Structure 1
Amino acid sequence: MTTRPAPYTRLLLTGLLLVLAGAVTLLARPQDRSQDAATPAVPTPSLATPAEPRTSAVPTPPASPPTTAPAAQTPARTAQPRAEGPPSHEPAVEPDPVPSGIPVSGDGPGGDHAIQRLLDRTTPADLPPDTQRHLVALATRVWIAETTGRGRATWPKYFTDTSLRAPYHYVRVQAAIARRTDGHDDQAVVRLVWAGAGAADDFQDGRLAQVRLTLHRNVWDPIR
């Protein structure tokens, strides 16, 4: 026959069991904690999507704009070899007349403009251009009549002798200028450079002459 414990006995046994269980638990906790501290924790792989990296506080400089490809340059021309031979020269400026005042004899009509330039530089112009052109043309006709005899009848007071024993041939006035005589408005002198051949056909250019003119009743006439 089995004897059952009394109710208070059960309670006592239950309390002892709980005390023993608590003591065992308290003794086991420090050891577990030391083991946990000695063993590094292994991170558990996460199935979640990894977070985006945090951006730095320093702003990233904007991307430089795409550079345009440089335009294709025209290839430099290669220097062509110069052709052998005498170098080409620009037209040279015509030299001034010789120091004597008259260009070299024998230039012909091509040298007349050089003589004209020389005469223009001798004295400054003091007559209106139209008047000067008129006096030069008049003196040219007078001098041709003087040297060749042709047209002397036009100025009978100037050419008292219409005959000419030894006339010149091939007479040409190369250059001429007209200037006032001593500042007088009614008197002028025309200085000429002329060319021609004498009785012996000795042609010569650069000859000098002058024709004096006077203004009378608005008409210019030659005077001696």
Structure 2
Amino acid sequence: MVANLFSSFDPSTSFALSLNWLSSMIFLILVPSLFWLIPSRIVMIWTMLTLFVHKEFKILINNPNYKGSTLIFSSLLVFILLNNFMGLFPYIFTASSHLNFSLYLSIPLWLSFMIFGWIKNTSHMLAHLAPQGAPNTLLPFLVLVESISNLIRPGTLAIRLTANMIAGHLLITLLGNSGPLMNSFMLNILILTQILLLTLESAVSIIQSYVFSILVTLYSSEIN
């Protein structure tokens, strides 16, 4: 029995099992099979999506020495995108609406960028802490602000993804629970509203995966 509204996002709610996290790996069964099939429209769409994302990230990195470095960011976008879409289906656990999921993606990437940047480009990283042309009296304050904003980057990435995914799901759940109390006319309006919300959530799923991967790409380009 659901104790409150947020318990529907509990990993162990369904059947008292914690295996719900395996839902984030369901697409691994489906995606590799595309590469063993005769080229079809699905494979063409997948290839077009991959090339489009590669071109977008290549412009942001803007460094010809890092060939193929967009692969990890493209994979990150597809991974988050598919997990966001999985959560829109009934009885499938939404892994991307949990901080555990998003923090495990953002913290290792951010930490690896920081370690690489401070070891290989120490002077460049120090220059980022003091913006060019800033008055000398404000430099200590600006260094403090830049340091704090750099430290909270993985947290803001994780919270942005989690908050946007859980907000729409909560609204859909809240409206769906009020369905049995409505008459037939209001129920039709509710169904139409739910369809519109699902359409909006589909757009949010795409946008949030794109924003997450784009911001990670921008953070990586700052250390070069």
TM class by shorter chain equals under 0.3
Q: Report the TM-score, using the length of structure 1 for normalisation.
A: 0.20
Structure number having the greater helix percentage = 2
The structure with higher relative contact order (CA 8 Å, sep 6+) is 2
Work out which of the two has the higher radius of gyration on C-alpha atoms and give 1 or 2: 1
